[in-house]
Amino acid sequence: MNATTRLGLLGLALALSACSVLESDKIDYKSAKKGATLEVPPDLTQLSRDTRYTVPGGAVSAQAYEAGQAQKPTGPNTAPSTIGDVHIERDGNQRWLVIDRPADKLWEPVRDFWLENGFVFTQENSELGILETDWAENRAKIPQDMIRSTIGKLFDGLYSTGERDKFRTRLERNPKGGTNIYVSHRGMIEVYSNQQKDATMWQPRPVDPELEAEFLRRMMVKLGVSEAQSKAAAAAAQTTPLAPSVKVTNANGVPVIQLDEGFDRAWRRVGLSLDRTGFTVEDRNRAEGVYYVRYVAPDPNKKEQGFFSKLFKGAPDAVPPLKYRVVVRSEASQSVVTVLNAAGAPETSANAERILRVLADDMK
């Protein structure tokens, strides 16, 4: 079936019935279990063979994110809500769980949570505390109208939302001996790539903080909180986002981000932005304020192919990833974010400014 027919059927289905995505019963990624994954080069997202559940030919890395990810504002207000040993906190549009248990006791329940919700993993690193899912489709977004309920069950592949989602979960030990759990979302949307509308391409769509919040709420239930209690806690954590002060500037010839907040909040915001924008975080050291990341720099001599290059069969001219250190340092009531090279020296190249602008755009 060509792209025009497929997207035409989608348009017809959407015209027949509208649905709200953020309701808790409007999330269904169970179909993602049907997808198998492929090994692809470093810094590129694994995709499943069944294109119905994947982003064809596409990976969203920090490099791709530069092309146009729109963000909602964040703010300094933090609202906690506690049930037993599980806390949900919010800072602007960022939410996370704080659990009074060690990370090694939470790894298996959290891993099982994503499997039970229909996802497969492209990354599992218990030492680093990172779980990353494959691209999957929220089938609950497809209207359940009369046509869908009859022929849709026989020809399920005819129906597609034209959107894909993936999630990264990060478990991080906190200074009090418990664990912080962060869930970050990345989204893609299928759009026409020419005026004839006979071909499509995938491009990034905005991060959905409400979707992140819903999975955190469901995770609370997995960790022992009742359904009613989890909904009450999530509601109690609602605050009005306020615009934070995030500024990319230059200090002694080195690009930096200046944040009008202390180290704890800056560390958390930078970490979540690295997750949301698709950086590969190889390691982190909170005591020293360092995230060890990989970055694929854009090649100015390479012919533009939308947001993506050819991912498979190991293209011989692929640009290798570069290793950097994203450092968060506290200066009085402010924090400064800088980029160092692999040797630990200040990075003054264009890549450093690109990395910082990607992070700053997400944090605004």
State residue 299's pLDDT score. Answer: 58
Structure confidence by residue, pLDDT tens digits, 67-115: 444 444 344 455 556 678 998 998 878 899 999 999 999 999 999 999 9
**Which residues have a Cβ under 8 Å from the Cβ of 206 and sit 6 or more positions away?**
69, 70, 71, 72, 187
State residue 236's pLDDT score. Answer: 86
What distance in Å separates the CA atoms of residue 338 and residue 251, rounded to the nearest whole number?
Answer: 10
Question: What token pair was written down for 231?
Answer: 């909904």
Question: What token pair was written down for 203?
Answer: 């491009």
CB 70 within 8 A of CB 361: no
User: Does residue 267 have a pLDDT over 60?
Assistant: yes
Looking at 74-88, 126-140, 346-360, which range is the least confident one? 74-88
Looking at 279-288, 309-318, 335-344, which range is the least confident one? 309-318
Q: Indicate if the alpha-carbon torsion angle 336, 356, 282, 95 is positive or negative.
A: positive
State residue 168's pLDDT score. Answer: 97
State residue 79's pLDDT score. Answer: 54
- Residue 252 region by backbone torsions, left for phi larger than 0, else alpha for psi between -120 and 50, else beta: left
State residue 301's pLDDT score. Answer: 56
| CB-based burial label for 232 (10 Å; 0-12, 13-18, 19+) | middle
Q: CA-based angle 53:58:63, to the nearest 5?
A: 140
Q: CA-based angle 84:90:96, to the nearest 5?
A: 65
Report helix angle 227-236 to 209-222, nearest 10: 140
State residue 241's pLDDT score. Answer: 56
What distance in Å separates the CA atoms of residue 364 and residue 361, rounded to the nearest whole number?
Answer: 5
Structure confidence by residue, pLDDT tens digits, 300-324: 555 444 434 433 334 445 567 899 9
Structure confidence by residue, pLDDT tens digits, 234-259: 888 766 555 568 999 998 889 999 99
State residue 100's pLDDT score. Answer: 96
3-state secondary structure of 295: strand
State residue 143's pLDDT score. Answer: 66
User: Does residue 134 have a pLDDT over 70?
Assistant: yes
Token pair 């975080």 is found at: 281
Cα 258 to Cα 39, 275, 336, distances in angstroms: 38, 20, 5
Report strand pairing: 179-192 vs 94-99.
Answer: antiparallel
Q: What percent of the chain has pLDDT over 70?
A: 65
Phi, psi dihedrals of residue 295, rounded to the nearest 5°: -140, 135
Q: Which residue has the higher pLDDT, 82 or 274?
A: 274
State residue 302's pLDDT score. Answer: 52
CB 187 within 8 A of CB 205: yes
Looking at 76-90, 145-159, 339-353, which range is the least confident one? 145-159
State residue 243's pLDDT score. Answer: 54
